[in-house]
Structure 1
Amino acid sequence: MNIYENIVILNASLADEEIETASAKIKDLITNSGGEILNADVWGRKKLAYEIKKQKKGFYLFLVFKSPSAAVKKLENYYKTFEPVIKYMVIKLEKKQAEAALKSSLPAPARQTASVEAAASRDARDEKTEPKIGA
């Protein structure tokens, strides 16, 4: 299975309950198609750079998920007919990008531990390579 990033812009004029229902339908479609959601971020209502389908604002939903490619085609077809979606983009991540996405999808304490370990190894490496001044 491949890892994908997905940004969905929903119609911002919908009520909060309708937006939650629409995002739940999208997440259910991914999981029911054999996928696994790794990270789901709600960016909320934001002004669009340009008007889309007579809308000046959109509700942004960002997903990182693991899925077979057939499920992605099914998801894209669903977006084309699903009324609340005004714009979407699904991108297949390369190996390095997928690793970074997996790291960012870790819970906050695990991310902090990983960043502390990375900083410690970087500091140890720097100590070995720094020239001694005045020696």
Structure 2
Amino acid sequence: MEIRKRAYETTFVLKPDLEDEEKQNILQRVKDTILAHEGEVTDVDAWGKRQLAYEIKDYRSGDYTILAFDAKTSVVNELERIFKIMDGVLRYLVVRNDA
């Protein structure tokens, strides 16, 4: 039985003082993780720096990125594990897109 792919969306907020190269490395690592689990990135929307609703780790702003992808359910756990260990990530959220 083949496990079907589902549509997901992840939003992650990076520290605003990261260099562009560091931001690209984090984005590439997320994409590589999705591809390694036989997924497909469908859209990347970089919002840039935005004001946070509340202070997180002494930061009042963050660099937002929204990434849409299709993948098996196993990729969600791996993405969350990677987000937890990356220093530049302030917050993240992965949701299934039922629309």
Q: TM-score, normalised by structure 1?
A: 0.67
In structure 2, the partner of 1:5 is 9
Identity %: 34
Residue 80 (structure 1) aligned with residue 84 (structure 2): yes
Aligned length: 95
Deviation of the 1:34 alpha carbon: 1.3
> Higher helix proportion, which one?
1
Residue 67 (structure 1) aligned with residue 71 (structure 2): yes
Distance in 1 (alpha carbons) for counterparts of 2:31 and 2:58: 26
Tell me the alpha carbon deviations over residues 42-82 of structure 1, each in whole angstroms, 9 at most, x when there is no partner.
Answer: 10111111111111111111011001111111111111111
Deviation of the 1:21 alpha carbon: 1.4
Deviation of the 1:41 alpha carbon: 0.6
Q: Which runs of 5+ in 1 are unaligned?
A: 98-135
The aligned runs of 1:1-135 (5 Å cut-off) are 1-94=5-98, 97=99
Higher RCO, 1 vs 2 (CA within 8 Å, ≥6 residues apart): 2
Distance in 1 (alpha carbons) for counterparts of 2:87 and 2:41: 22
- Structure showing greater radius of gyration is 1
Distance in 2 (alpha carbons) for counterparts of 1:22 and 1:67: 19
Over 4 Å off, 4+ runs: none
Deviation of the 1:24 alpha carbon: 1.2
Q: TM-score, normalised by structure 2?
A: 0.91
Deviation of the 1:23 alpha carbon: 1.1
Tell me the alpha carbon deviations over residues 82-122 of structure 1, each in whole angstroms, 9 at most, x when there is no partner.
Answer: 1111100111111xx1xxxxxxxxxxxxxxxxxxxxxxxxx
Deviation of the 1:14 alpha carbon: 0.6
